[in-house]
Every structure is written in C-alpha cells, then in structure tokens.
Chain A
Amino acid sequence: MTLTMPAPIFEIEDLRAHYLTRFGQKIQAVDGVSFSLKEGEILGIAGESGCGKTTLVSACMGLYIPPLHQSSGDVRVDGKSIIGMDVEQNRKDVLGRLVSMIPQGALNSLNPTRKVKDLAADMILSHDEKADKQEIQGRLRERFERIGLDAELVLNSYPIQLPAGMKQRVVIGISTLLNPRVVIADEPTSALDVTTQKSVIRLLFDLMDQQIIGSMLFITHELPLLRHVSSRIAVMYAGEFVELGSTEQVIFDSRMPYTKALMGSMLSAEPGQKSKKPVAIEGAPPNLAHRIKGCRFAERCPEARPDCKENEQLIRIVANREVRCQYAE
C-alpha cells in the first residue's frame, strides 16, 4: 500500500502581477511569489503596507481587474489551475467558492440597503442560479446558528442595526457560505479591540475545525499577532517573499535582516520581547516602477554589504527555512 501525498490544497507558483498606469508605466507589485498550503493549515503573511499584500490577494483569487494584470505564474486549488479563465468563469467557479476573501474593513462591506439574508442569498444564487429559495433560507439559518449568531434576528436585519462585532461575524459567515477551500483573511483583526480580536480568531479556528474552511491565508502587518494564529509565516517585502518558515522560526529566530528589523520595530507582549524598545526601520520601500538591481532591502538594511545591491537575491535554505538573502545564516 503506497501512501500518496494528497495535492496541496493551494499552490502558488512563481506568481507575478503588475499594474499598468495611465502613462504606460508598469509597476511589478508581485514579483515571483511561491508557496503552498496543506489542508487544515494556516499560513500567515506579514508585511508593511505597500509590500504588495493586497495585490497578492487579488492575484491568488485569479481576480484581475484592470489596471491590474497577470504577468506570469500559476495558482492551483486542489491541483487544478485557476489562472487563465475568463472573467465570468472566474466569478462563478472561483470567487467565493474555491477561494474566498474576508475583507479588511468588514464593517463597511455590507450593502446598507440590503437585509443580511438577501445579501447572503444573492451570493448563493450568483453561483447556483437554480437553487431553491426556501432551501437557501434554511441553509442560512443553520450556518448562522453554527457561527454563534441569532439567525432569526441577524438574517432579517439591515447592517445598520447590527453592532460592529456581529457585523464582523456576518461577513465571515457570508464569505464562508460555500465552504471555500481557501480563505484569505485580509487584516481581519485590525481596528478591533483585543477581546473582539480573540473571538474573531477563535471563530476562524472553529470554522477550520469543522472543515467549513479548507485552509487559510492570514494577512497582517502585525507580525507578532501570528504567534497564536498560524503554523507558518511568510514575510513579504517589495513584492517578494523574503522569509518563509515556521512561526517559531520566523518570530523568534529570524535570519533575514528585514524580518529582524520588522520584529524589532513592533511592540510585543511576547515573553522575552517585552523589554525591548521598538526601533523604526529607516527609509522607505523601493519604487516598483523601475527594475531593481540586487536586494530590494539593501538600501535600508543594517547588515548590508556592498555587493548586496549588485547580485540578484535568490531564495536559499538557511536553518530549515527559506530566506531571500545572500548573506543570511
């Protein structure tokens, strides 16, 4: 009897995506990202704003709305590629069904003039036109109860009538209605108080345990937050992954200078980190409209050496994780 490894649930292979500005400039916002997710796994993606996280999300969903275009690369869900479909096919088969997103600013994401149940029904019907309306309401009720909401009350309300915490749950509920294989949570806990943050994370874990969600990408700019959320972390900078390893490795034992600087610039309540004063990283990320020679972090890197700016930085395996730094060890 041979044990065959099941295909990873989510595979990104050398993905590149760019923006075309009105003046014809090409901005390579995602420049060669690769990773894969196993079923039941949570991968955290950490990076400052402007590193390309948002573009990566769109690209992972195969959703390219001009001026965003795909340059090259592949995205596979359960082994099947979702790149190259036409817009309508992408909408129907991929969005919300294979890969679903929980947006940043969930509080404004619900149409104010639509009752929750109608919005949810819109979503279901958009993917399955022949679905029975009664059956849909039944499904909605069942699912909302499962995620801890008073279905009767919430489904019949307008967004304005719900408190912020409930709205967040509603958004999570709607995004996961079709049991997506991959859920991309884009900064789901920013702008929330600590208690609500915890309950949101717990809800996401529950949904994964109940196998409603297949796997998850958890995107945040708060690297320390991922300590209790993901099993692996990818650190993103200027359109590339610069470090990819287990959570412990990346947070406590990072080898990439940028990751070290990132951790150093954050306030953390973690043991061993409390006494350290946060130090901001000087300078700014590079302009991606121009072809960049050598390491993109070299300008601001405290450990940079002269030839860092000359040599193309490839991914190396250092101390059991991926690092994009020629001198890391």
Chain B
Amino acid sequence: MLNNNPALKHIVGRVGWYLVTFLVAVTINFFLPRLGDANPVDTIMAKVSTGLDTKSARVKEEAYLKEFGLVEVDAQGKVKRDAQGKPVPTPLSSQFVNYMGMSLQGDLGSSILQHPKRVSEIIKTAIPWTIALQLPTIIFGWIIGNVLGALAAYKRGAFDKILYPMALLTSAIPAFCFGILLVYFFGIRLEWFPAVGGYDEGLTPELSGEFLSSAAYYYVLPFLSVFLLVVGGQAIGMRSMCIYELGTDYVKYAKLLGVKESKILFYMFRNAMLPQLTGLALALGTMVGGALIAEIIFSYPGLGMTILTAIQGNDYPVITGCTLLITVTVLIANFSADVMIGLLDPRIKAVQSGGK
C-alpha cells in the first residue's frame, strides 16, 4: 500500500524522523538543566524555611522532594527510606521516565518561583500573546517578503533599485538591535507608540473592545520589529531565486513557444518557492528565537518574558516547560513545511516513487 502512494510514503518517513527528533529534544530538555548542581527544593526551602525548627523543616523538605519527584515513594505514596531512615533519591533514569510521562500528559510540574502555581498555568497566560506576535509575523512576513522579492526580480528597474538596498540593510542589522532602535525612536523619543508592555496598565485582559484596541496599539512596534526583518530576509532570498529561474533554459523555451507571460511568471514563482520553503523550515528556529528576544525588549507579556523572569529567578520547571513547548512547536512547523515541500515538488515525489 505504501509503495503505491509516494506522497504517503514521504509523510510517513518524515513522521518517523520527527518522532526521533522529538525524543532527542525531550531528552536534551530534561538532562541539560540538571547538569548543574542546583536543586530546586533547596531554592524553595531557602525562602520558606525561615523560622522553622529542624524537624518541621525536614518534614517540609521531604514533602517538596516528593512533589518534585526527587525521592522514591511506595505504593501508598509514602516516602521510601533507606537503612538510615533517609529518603531514597529517585535515580535519574526513573526521573526521566516520569518526566516523559508527565510531559506527554501536559503536566509540566510546578513553578519554583511562584510555588505552588503550576507551570502550565503560567504558560497558558503567556501563550496567546506569543502566538499573536509570532504567527502573523512569520506567516505574513514570509508571504509578503517572497512576493516583494519575486516582483523585484521580475520588474527590475526602479522597484528593484529601491527594494534591494533596503532589504540588504535590514538583513544586516541584528534582530534585537532593530527592536531596541524601534523602541527608542518610536516609543520613547517620538512617543508614537508605547514602548513597554502588551496593553494599557489600567486594563485587565478580557475580550472587550477597549482592551483589544489597547492591545492592538501596543502590538504595533513589537510586530514591526520582527516583521520587517523577516520581509527583508525573505525578499532578498526570493529575489535571487527568481533571477536564477528567469535565466533557466526552460523559461527561455517557454518564451520561444509563445507561452503567456502570466504563465511564465507562475512557473518562476512556483519553482523559486520550493527552495524558499526549505529555507523556511530551517529558519523557523531562528525566527522563533528572534521573536522571543523582541518580546523581551518590549516587555511583551509572552513566553519570552516568562522565560526571562524564570531565568532571573532560577525557576527551572518554568524554563524547561517553555523550552519544551517552543521546541515542539518548531518541530511541528518544520514538519508541516517538510510535508508541503514533499507534496509540491514533483522532483521529490519522483524520487520517492523510484523515478526512472
């Protein structure tokens, strides 16, 4: 069955690969933070144990250790003890398995900084902001960037002479510098847009006209700081690809046959898109990272700020929760792009079906 449908074969192959990548990502996500010495329980205890005597402190500590899965429990949920009566620490491998299990169920543990708040809760409030910022920026930025690049390649002339240097400039400026520049000039100096935050301080997040319009106002600068850079980068790439396609033998032949100009443009666009899609898949990780940094610069209440505060407070569960989520999202986006390329590019289809 699989052999008859090259498209399906391709998808199944990619699914397999991405599952492996996911496993590796989760493993990295688990082990890396634990390379250091920090014990989350110690951090909590430092805050919470003032004024407690040794015995109650130990009881509290064991409760936390149990909660964070750092000690083994028996069937009744009581902490197992060794010969000296000390709690038995959970081996790293079991911790890992527990972690996998919990993550797959969506349970990312509790925050240290904001104990006993669950990590998933913290993330849930931040996610809508990040999605609102990242999704339109990346998708529209990519589409518009590519269209502009194609136009520049086809029309050349004045349009190209303006677009090309501009795009070159925007791709040379590091992303966060651009963000800082925007904040400073438009936010603070000219005061056209707010420099900090996601919405007016006096308002609470809700689905009201007042809130939404305030949010939109605060949205402009962070959006532009990522959007313009994505557009610039894509435009340059697409422009080169299109210039190349326009010079190919098959375009020359189509012209000689008298094929309509609009059709030839369609050929150029379609063939240039494919490498661009591949590029998108590879650049997604960078784009997401860049948007996160933009959030931090603008103090935008998304995952970026969440990670920042978590880092400043050594809140490991939150950090790893966020990174896991971001990695999974990037993997899914990559996977989608991969599948699309497989479906759109006959060259890959042919290879899959064993092209002659």
Contact = CB atoms under 8 A, between A and B. Distances in A.
A105 B256 CA distance: 14
Given A111-B250, A113-B270, A114-B267, A123 B257 contact: yes
A94 interface: yes
Contacts of B274: 113
Contact of B249 (A108, A113, A122): A108
B258 interface: yes
Nearest to B250: A111
Of residues A103, A125, A162, A163, which shows the largest number of chain B Cβ atoms within 10 Å of its Cβ?
A: A103
Contact of A109 (B253, B258, B270, B355): B253
B86 interface: no
B240 interface: no
A112 B250 contact: yes
Interface residues of B, number: 26
Interface string A154-168: 000010111100000
A123 B250 contact: no
A127 interface: yes
Contacts of A9: none
Nearest to A58: B256
A36 B216 CA distance: 72
A17 interface: no
Interface in B243-288: 248-250, 252-261, 263, 267, 270-271, 274
A97 B256 CA distance: 10
Contacts of B189: none
A61 B256 contact: yes
Contacts of B254: 111, 119, 122-123
Interface in A149-202: 158, 160-163, 171, 174-175
Interface stretch (B94-102, B107-115, B344-352): B344-352
A126 B346 contact: no
Interface in A103-142: 103, 105, 108-115, 119, 122-123, 125-127
A101 interface: yes
Contacts of A101: 256
User: In the complex, which of the residues B252, B261, B349 has the most CB atoms of chain A within 10 Å of its own CB atom?
Assistant: B252
Contacts of B355: 158, 160-161
Interface string B327-356: 000000000000000001111011000011
A44 interface: no
B253 A112 contact: no
A126 B350 contact: no
25 contacts: A63-B256, A92-B258, A94-B258, A95-B258, A96-B256, A96-B257, A103-B253, A109-B249, A109-B252, A109-B253, A110-B253, A111-B254, A113-B270, A113-B345, A119-B254, A122-B260, A122-B263, A123-B257, A126-B257, A126-B258, A158-B347, A160-B350, A161-B350, A161-B355, A163-B356
Given A91-B258, A113-B267, A126-B258, 14 more contacts: A95-B256, A95-B257, A96-B259, A97-B258, A101-B256, A109-B253, A112-B250, A112-B346, A113-B271, A113-B274, A123-B257, A158-B346, A158-B350, A160-B346
Interface of A: 61, 63, 65, 91-92, 94-97, 100-101, 103, 105, 108-115, 119, 122-123, 125-127, 158, 160-163, 171, 174-175
